[in-house]
Each structure stands twice: as structure tokens, then as C-alpha cells.
Amino acid sequence: MQTQAAIKLRRSVRAFEPQAQISKEDIKTLIDSARLAPTARNIQPWEFIVITNKDMLETIGGIADNGRFIADASACIAVFCKDTKYYLEDGCAATENLLLAATDLGLDSCWVAGDKKPYCLRIKELLGVPDDFKLVSMVALGKSKSKEEAKPEKRPLREVIHWEKF
């Protein structure tokens, strides 16, 4: 798949097939794509925790108020970054790479907020993450229950592009 195709096909999926499996090779490809993201000063502050255990997915889904569907996902990748000046930008770039790579592999995904959510500390403790790291995102992964995901309306290019000045 070409990059533009992955960008245009990517959707946020919140209802997953319960029996779908994701291979370890695909998970490694996703993490490899995430770790190649741009990073300020090449600090690469990220660490990725892959969760496939059903009980743990259900626990996380029960904690993350906007990510209840994680409980039904085949996997979840938690993106943590060392608390550096640009941890949020770096972690978000890695998360977007991960989402696009998932689309490229034919997987469905959804970005679940981290950093500013009240459940961050509980997730961090649950996963045994050191104090000097911040939860940037959690990415639910699997196969969609629906054959056709709703395509959200996006603002047209002519409304968002500005040349030289706003």
C-alpha cells in the first residue's frame, strides 16, 4: 500500500471481532514503524507495551473511560515516553506511524488518549512503568466487527488551506 492510500483508508474502529488474532510479526512491524517516527533531537523517548492477554485488555478497558472497547480488541499497544521536553510530540508521531502501519497491514485500530486523562496513573501502575514515563496513547488493534466503517466527514481542503497568511 502507498502512504496516501493508508492515510485515506485509516479509520478509528471501536467494535472488534472477538476471535481475531494478530501475529507477533505484525506486532513487531507496528512497533518498528512507530520507533522510526521523527523525534526531537533524536532522543527517541518512547517505549511500547504490547498487551494481548484478554484479562489485561478487559482490565484496561474498564479503567479507560474513553477506551472501553479495548476490552474487545485483539491487542493494545500502550505508548509511553520518558518525560522529556518534547515527549508528547514524539509520542504522538510514533502513534500516528503505528496507526498508518496498522492500516497498511489490513488491521483496524483506534487511538485512545493518554497524557491528560485521569486514568493515566492507574494504567502506568498496572503495566509496571517507571515514574519518569508518561502515557501518551493506547492503540486498540484488531479486526472490525463491521464490514463497512462509517467514513467521517472531513473538512474540504479549500476550507483548511491558507497561502502565506491565515
CATH of the domain at 123: 3.40.109.10
pLDDT of residue 147: 74
Q: Which domain holds residue 128?
A: 3-160
Alpha-carbon distance 99 to 33, whole Å? 9
Please, which residues have CB within 8 angstroms of residue 58's CB and are 6 or more apart in sequence? 71
Residue 95 vs residues 30, 158, 160: alpha-carbon distances, Å: 10, 27, 23
- List, edge to edge, every strand of the sheet that includes 46-51: 46-51, 75-82, 133-142, 108-113
pLDDT digit string (tens) for 68-105?
999 999 999 999 999 999 999 999 999 999 999 999 99
Is 165 part of any domain?
no
Q: Is the pLDDT of residue 17 over 90?
A: yes
Where does 33-131 show beta strands of DSSP type E? 46-51, 75-82, 108-113
- Number of structural domains, the chain? 1
Place of cell 479507560: 64
Residue 166 lies in a domain: no
> pLDDT tens digits for 18-37?
888 999 999 999 999 999 99
Partnered with residue 79 across adjacent β-strands are 48, 137
pLDDT of 19: 81
pLDDT tops 70 at residue 159: yes
Average of per-residue pLDDT across 27-49: 98
Judge whether 69 lies within some domain.
yes
Q: What is the mean pLDDT of the chain?
A: 95
